Amino acid sequence: MVAAVEWIFFLLSMHPQNPLQKEVMESRRLRQNGVLCGGCLFFASGSIGMAGGIFDAQTVLSLSIATVAASAFNTLSFNEYKSSLPKSTFQVKVSLLEGAGNGLFSTVHKIPSGTFLFSYEGERLDEDEYFERYPNGQGRYVATIPAAPWSGNPTFIDGADPSKSGLARFMNSMPKADANVVWRKQRFGPQAGNMYFYASCNIEAGEELCFEYGEQYWGAVRDV
């Protein structure tokens, strides 16, 4: 009897009650199915092509290797093993943007374009923990790192608590054309679930660091 009750609770835990979380999970499931179907079609077309004499085995093998290599390159290119710049490189003070509160500024003569600045820090939450904390699906200081499209759940990094976060939480948003910082989200590889920030141009002393939050963020905020 106890085992049966535990099994029922397990099944219920697999089906979240939050409507927004259900919608997110269903959307991800459809994307994963699409990737799986695409992979099956790729290998099926290769097999049919070989059977019909359109492709030879070497061509199919080369295409497969190229696909895997491209995926591996994408994985490795987003890994960042360098150390963050010293905290003394930056200063938190009132933003130059109207109504933005505090902002993050450079204190050094020049940060060269392409420099790795720091990663986004905070509490790491799984999907259930995230929607339990933010039922409306929007934490203003949460960075969402999608998992690989064929499997897994996203990682949520909540930087709301300054004592558990880092400097990245103080950066404000600016249109990409005007921003001096860009981000990369690590979805694959040994460092999956991280978000990195880089200088997109030379940043001079006294300049405020900004990056584009993205329409997905602002759309969610407007819906709150």
Per-residue pLDDT at 116 = 92
Please indicate, yes or no, if residue 82 is contained in any of the structural domains: no
Q: Is residue 101 pLDDT above 50, yes or no?
A: yes
**Does one domain contain both 14 and 99?**
no
CB atoms within 10 A of CB 155: 22
CA 62 to chain CA centroid, Å, is 31
Per-residue pLDDT at 120 = 95
Per-residue pLDDT at 164 = 94
* Dihedral over alpha carbons 12, 14, 15, 20 (to 10 degrees): 140
Query: Total structural domains in the chain?
Result: 2
**Does one domain contain both 33 and 104?**
no
Q: How many residues does the chain have?
A: 224
Q: Of 116, 120, 122, nearest to 181 (Cα)? A: 116
- Mean pLDDT to the nearest integer, 163-190: 90
Q: Which residue has the higher pLDDT, 87 or 28?
A: 87
Q: Which residue has the higher pLDDT, 190 or 79?
A: 190
**Does one domain contain both 35 and 102?**
no
**Does one domain contain both 189 and 108?**
yes
**Does one domain contain both 64 and 175?**
no
CB atoms within 10 A of CB 113: 12
Q: For residue 105, give both structure tokens.
A: 């500024």
Q: Is residue 142 pLDDT above 60, yes or no?
A: yes
Q: Is residue 176 pLDDT above 50, yes or no?
A: yes
